[in-house]
Amino acid sequence: MPTYVTLIKWTSQGIQNIKDSPKRLADYKKALEAAGGKLVGFYLTMGRYDIVLITECPSDEVNAALGLSTASSGNIQTETMKAFPESQYREIIAKIK
């Protein structure tokens, strides 16, 4: 299953409603699992981003839909990167001519 790393920043609205953040995370996890995905890692971070998520989803489309649905609440801004494990990295590099 594809892996994704999502960098999250709280918006002004999100930080004003910070105490609701654990419930929003629980709701996201339920939606992710219902879509056939899995939360691999959740990290509260210090610095440019507030949260880092590592997820697995059945497809790019499923991941995009979940991300857009979550961000549409106005509490967060996201930047998502598709991540390739070492085995796929080696396959990709081997294809370089």
**pTM of the shown model:** 0.90
One-letter identity of residue 83: A
List C-alpha distances in Å: 96 to 85, 89, 92, 93: 17, 11, 7, 5
By the 8 A CB rule, do 42 and 51 touch? yes
What pLDDT does residue 75 have?
96
List C-alpha distances in Å: 8 to 27, 66, 93: 16, 14, 30
Give the domain 3-94 fold: Alpha-Beta Plaits (3.30.70)
Q: If the chain, 97 residues long, is cut into consecutive pieces of 10 residues, what is the mean pLDDT of each piece? A: 97 95 96 97 98 97 94 95 96 94
CA 63/CA 38 separation, integer angstroms: 11
What pLDDT does residue 59 have?
96
Domain boundaries, the chain: 3-94
